[in-house]
Structure 1
Amino acid sequence: MRFRKIDPTLIVAAVSGVLLAAAFPRPDYFFLAWVALVPLLLVMRRRPFATGFTAGIVFFATVLYWLNFVMITYGRLQPLFAFLAYLFLVVYLAVYFGMASWASCRLEAVFKLPYLITLPPLWVALEYLRGVLLTGFPWAIIGYSQQNFSPAIQSCDVTGVYGVSLMLIIVNCAVAGVIAAPKRRSAWLGVVITVCISISHFGYGVWRQSQPLEQRAEQLRVSLIQGNIDQMQKWDPDNRQASVDRYQHLSLLAREADPQLVIWPEAATPFFLQDQSNLAEHVRKLPQKLNAYLLVGSPAYEKLSPDTYQYFNSAYLFSPSGVELGRSDKQHLVPFGEYVPLGKFLGFIDKLVVGVGDFSSGQVRPLPLGEHSLGVLICYEAIFPQLARNYIRKGSDLLVNLTNDAWFGRSSAPYQLLAMTRFRAIENRIWIARAANTGVSALISPAGKVVLSGPIFEKVQLTGNVGLGAEETVYTRFGDLFAFVCMTISGVFLVALVLAGKYK
């Protein structure tokens, strides 16, 4: 039997996938992202789609490896079926890489346009589409790799994370251009242009860092309660009392730090807080003991008819006197996690979440905190920039991220999610308080800096000060305008390709 040799071109492309994945948490070698795509760029004209697709397969397979753990441990899927589901998602996401490389190569072949001109807007356009199509999955947009390179990400208050992605692609293209043709003047012209753009980009970042971004006229003392409740025990009715006792104990310990707001994570109460039960009553009385506001993650329901209910993944806010001030419901649900898409037709598919039933989407509903408002992002919602922006535009003065990252185990996923959350603070120049069941709980400044964080998989309470109020940024006002511009440019490129093929 003859075995077909692996194409060396695809091996080189795969190297780009490995390097790019290494730029993300963990190991978080963010500097690799500035050259990670160079191997791909040097060979992709030989096999335009296949090389980009291969790089994407390796990248997403590496970054999202933890999905297998989630589906097997909590989705109760057989390892083979879990792997097939994981592979399907990886292949789907890799198609976006393949489309970017194919389109850029075609534009070079037909119009002699260098990658430096075509690939950056194409890449950004496809990243944006990946975040909105089929409910959207904007996980691991390459700009997120720069979470710890502060001067490179401050421009997010203008362009969003997509501006950082564009810079990464520009630098990769310029480096590849010089390596491929070191004697070509156009390659060195590309380097000069890239240097000028980089000076502008990083100059803005340094200038923004010199501004008093973290200062606000009013401060709020916040305690984050990390209960570290085992996911396999969380929804067991026999463990409800123990869960509430643990959160109450940690909250009373935090009282010594004199917090004004105490925050419990997503679904901290594994029962309906709105019911008149003894456990619910204990939670409602706690704010009086703390003399502080209490924000609690809890499932909720609304009765539509005698036999019909709607369920929500929610957060309740209580005043220091124990009065319920409002409820905020999760808007962007996890497909096959919190609901089954096309449930009438796919009813045979179980959800991955062990809980109450299919959840329904909520609406943007800031919660009143005295003269201020809280915008609550529940878990996965923190990766969607438009949701955070919507809360700011509705008047929120502090963003709160309630999450239960126990699903991810001791993988890199909790750190990946924290990294993406940091960008929401920069885009809107607002403080974020993040309470996670198993970690990473953190306070994030408007510069995207994690000023306070705790260990993972430990029960702990963290207390610190946050500022109230958001700075009106270009991003807050205009949203993903930068991405739309890139989509428009990409659309012009594609129309030109179609017309060139038609009239060739």
Structure 2
Amino acid sequence: MDQLKKISKYNFIYLFLSLILAGFSTPAYVGFFGYFNLLAFALFWICIKNLNNKKIVVSSFVYFFIVSAIQLSWLSSTRYQGTLIILVYLFVLAWFAICFSLITFMLFKDKNLNISKMNILKMNISKMNILKMLFISSIWVLLEYSKLYFLCGFPFFPIASSFSNNIYALQLASVFGVYGLSFYIIFANLVFFNFYIKKSIKTFSFWIFLFVFPTLFGFIHLKIYEKKVFASEKINCILVQTAILPEEKNLLNGYFDSFVSPLLQWSNIIDLISEYKNKNIDFIVLPEASTAFSAFSNYYPFDLVKKLFMNKFDKYQLSNLPKFKKPFAEEIDGKFYVSNSYFSKALANIYNANFIAGFDDYEEDSTYNAAFFFNPNNYNFLRYEKQKLVPIGEYIPINLLRNFIKNQYNISSSFNRGTISKVFHDKFNFSLSICYDEMYSDVMRNAKIKGSNFFINLTNNAWFYNSKLYYQHFILSRIKAIENGNPLVRACNTGVTAGIDAFGRIVNYILVENEKKAIYTEIPSFNYKTIYSYFGDKLIVCISFSFIFIYFLYNYYLQKKIKLS
């Protein structure tokens, strides 16, 4: 009886530690916990090892439901989404919990293997254990990877994000990508669990190696390129964090008193940028959907705009204002009106810098969430269209929901989806991504393949304000920089606005969500071709399928041997 109480006490401790380590294992919570995710799941498996199969499945479902609920707590934000988002939140939690229950069931399904059969297998058992661990890790990778394509796709909370506090360990993403890191974490947990069951010093030594290797690999990896990074030319950027909430940017029902005049929105942006007017500037970057109105809607009376510019700039700078012609300006009833694109082009000219900003854009029957590139030396502009649209907010995934969504959210139409990654050729060949785009490896990698040496991301996370989303989004964006070996800058409405080098190291950033600020950052332009940039996710997916095939083949061989014996 005392022994049972002792076991129960230890199980409670293991379960508590497992939940804490797995649930709070990203820098958005307690980054230090992340690296200990290499044993967090093993501690849970130790707790349930003596349960029957039904209880194992139920326990693992509840466990990972709780872990996911902590990690994805931002998805429960009802401020702008309403209570419908809670149903989405619960569905996602159940979806993730089912995936974890599946691999846990696979881990334990042969635990009651007949002793006589084990004696027949003899030396094959250890081989089978290794193959089974590789098999389960592979299944997990395919389950995580499939989340990108199931329904609308959901790239958040790969368990690899728990490595984010260890910049050395993250360097493995340059080889196998984010899902390769997830494979590694699950495999390490399985090895630790195997050690606990067998009490084998050899197995524990192997786990210690797995624990140390990512950090050692990353340290050597960074040392190899250190001098080249230091010697590379710098990309000088002003990154603007507007910190303006949806009801301040646009007129929303019930929030009319919060609305900020679009002209004042631009005035604030100009003030933020002007802090660095004496700096050498290559890029000025504004967030996604930077201000009210679309890119070329001429809503601003030029008389008011002229007064604004005269208050902010001297005569020489004012001489650089764009000409009054479409699409930047338009004459209506004898008066000139200008658009957001006029402001953007004017600031590009005044600061002699590439100006990047996000605006909606209309084109005959199409509407795009777009990012624009205004070059001071060219009157024309270039545009990138967002490829990965957010369900409900940017497109209606199911026509049957159209009327409900219109009544609930006053959304009756969808953006059109961009179809290609674009590279813009200038002093630095760069590519643009908008918000959700950078979460998808194929979008970023396609830009790298096309010749992008520098990533620029524009994001607006204000719809989930005062939650953990902004930081979790940032964590995954750093991994995309590492995967492709490209430096990255992010201008985000409510954070995290940052400059990151090709190895995911932060050069400068704004961490506070509601801080209106612009930062000047000098990013090393060094970039390189990673193994991941050559093969993408296909490498870890093919490895996973190979292990699954070998596992079934070897299992078939063992079953046949048992029958013959």
TM range (shorter): 0.7 to 0.9
Q: Does 1:41 align with 2:96?
A: no
Residue in 2 that maps onto 1:60: 68
Q: Does 1:188 align with 2:180?
A: no
Q: Does 1:212 align with 2:229?
A: no
- Secondary structure class of the residue paired with 2:373: strand
- Secondary structure class of the residue paired with 2:403: coil
Question: How far apart are residue 494 of structure 1 and its match?
Answer: 6.3
Residue in 2 that maps onto 1:23: 25
Moved more, 145-154 or 167-176: 167-176
Output the aligned Cα RMSD.
Answer: 3.0
Q: Does 1:164 align with 2:186?
A: no
Distance in 1 of aligned mates of 2:204 and 2:288: 47
Distance in 2 of aligned mates of 1:155 and 1:67: 29
- Secondary structure class of the residue paired with 1:350: helix
Question: How far apart are residue 256 of structure 1 and its match?
Answer: 2.6
Counterparts in 2 of 1:366-385, with a 5 A limit? 366-385=422-441
Residue in 2 that maps onto 1:258: 280
* Alpha carbons 2:287, 2:357 under 8 Å: kept: yes
* Alpha carbons 2:233, 2:524 under 8 Å: kept: yes
Q: Does 1:73 align with 2:94?
A: no
Question: How far apart are residue 493 of structure 1 and its match?
Answer: 4.3
Question: How far apart are residue 338 of structure 1 and its match?
Answer: 1.2
Question: How far apart are residue 177 of structure 1 and its match?
Answer: 2.6
Return the match for 2:357 from 264, 278, 296.
296
* Alpha carbons 2:423, 2:450 under 8 Å: kept: no
Question: How far apart are residue 396 of structure 1 and its match?
Answer: 0.8
Distance in 2 of aligned mates of 1:445 and 1:144: 18
Q: Which deviations, in whole Å up to 9, do the C-alpha atoms of 1:11-45 show, x marking residues without a partner? A: 97686344201112213222331221122221445
Moved more, 310-319 or 18-27: 18-27
Distance in 2 of aligned mates of 1:217 and 1:415: 29
Question: How far apart are residue 297 of structure 1 and its match?
Answer: 0.6
Counterparts in 2 of 1:278-297, with a 5 A limit? 278-280=338-340, 281-297=342-358
* Alpha carbons 1:396, 1:469 under 8 Å: kept: no
One-letter code of the match for 1:279?
Answer: S
Residue in 1 that maps onto 2:254: none
Structure 1 residues 150 and 283, CA, compared in 2 at 3 Å: closer, same or farther? closer
Residue in 1 that maps onto 2:497: 441
Q: Does 1:86 align with 2:89?
A: yes
The sequence identity of aligned pairs, in percent, is 24
Unpaired stretches in structure 1, ≥5 consecutive residues: 1-6, 304-308
Moved more, 330-339 or 259-268: 330-339
* Alpha carbons 2:431, 2:452 under 8 Å: kept: yes
One-letter code of the match for 2:508?
Answer: L
Distance in 2 of aligned mates of 1:493 and 1:149: 32
Q: Does 1:475 align with 2:532?
A: yes
Q: Does 1:225 align with 2:281?
A: no
Moved more, 235-244 or 119-128: 235-244
Q: Which deviations, in whole Å up to 9, do the C-alpha atoms of 1:354-394 show, x marking residues without a partner? A: 88941111022424242432211211222212211111011
Question: How far apart are residue 157 of structure 1 and its match?
Answer: 0.8
Moved more, 230-239 or 437-446: 230-239
Residue in 2 that maps onto 1:98: 101
Distance in 1 of aligned mates of 2:97 and 2:384: 35
* Alpha carbons 2:135, 2:544 under 8 Å: kept: no
Q: Which deviations, in whole Å up to 9, do the C-alpha atoms of 1:120-145 show, x marking residues without a partner? A: 22222222222332232121111111
* Alpha carbons 1:18, 1:58 under 8 Å: kept: no
Question: How far apart are residue 170 of structure 1 and its match?
Answer: 2.8
Residue in 2 that maps onto 1:3: none
Distance in 1 of aligned mates of 2:240 and 2:546: 45
Question: How far apart are residue 54 of structure 1 and its match?
Answer: 1.9
Distance in 1 of aligned mates of 2:17 and 2:468: 20
Return the match for 1:466 from 511, 520, 523.
523
Counterparts in 2 of 1:350-389, with a 5 A limit? 350=405, 357-389=413-445
Distance in 1 of aligned mates of 2:411 and 2:277: 31
Question: How far apart are residue 275 of structure 1 and its match?
Answer: 3.4
Residue in 2 that maps onto 1:240: 262
One-letter code of the match for 1:474?
Answer: I
One-letter code of the match for 1:89?
Answer: V
Question: How far apart are residue 346 of structure 1 and its match?
Answer: 2.0
- Secondary structure class of the residue paired with 2:489: strand
Residue in 2 that maps onto 1:203: 216
Aligned residues: 483
One-letter code of the match for 1:270?
Answer: A
Residue in 2 that maps onto 1:272: 294
Structure 1 residues 89 and 349, CA, compared in 2 at 3 Å: closer, same or farther? farther
One-letter code of the match for 1:426?
Answer: I
Question: How far apart are residue 50 of structure 1 and its match?
Answer: 2.2
Question: How far apart are residue 197 of structure 1 and its match?
Answer: 4.6
* Alpha carbons 2:344, 2:374 under 8 Å: kept: no
Unpaired stretches in structure 2, ≥5 consecutive residues: 1-7, 119-124, 252-258, 300-337
* Alpha carbons 1:405, 1:439 under 8 Å: kept: yes
Structure 1 residues 51 and 175, CA, compared in 2 at 3 Å: closer, same or farther? same
* Alpha carbons 2:296, 2:339 under 8 Å: kept: no
Structure 1 residues 340 and 209, CA, compared in 2 at 3 Å: closer, same or farther? same
Q: Does 1:131 align with 2:148?
A: yes
Residue in 1 that maps onto 2:453: 397
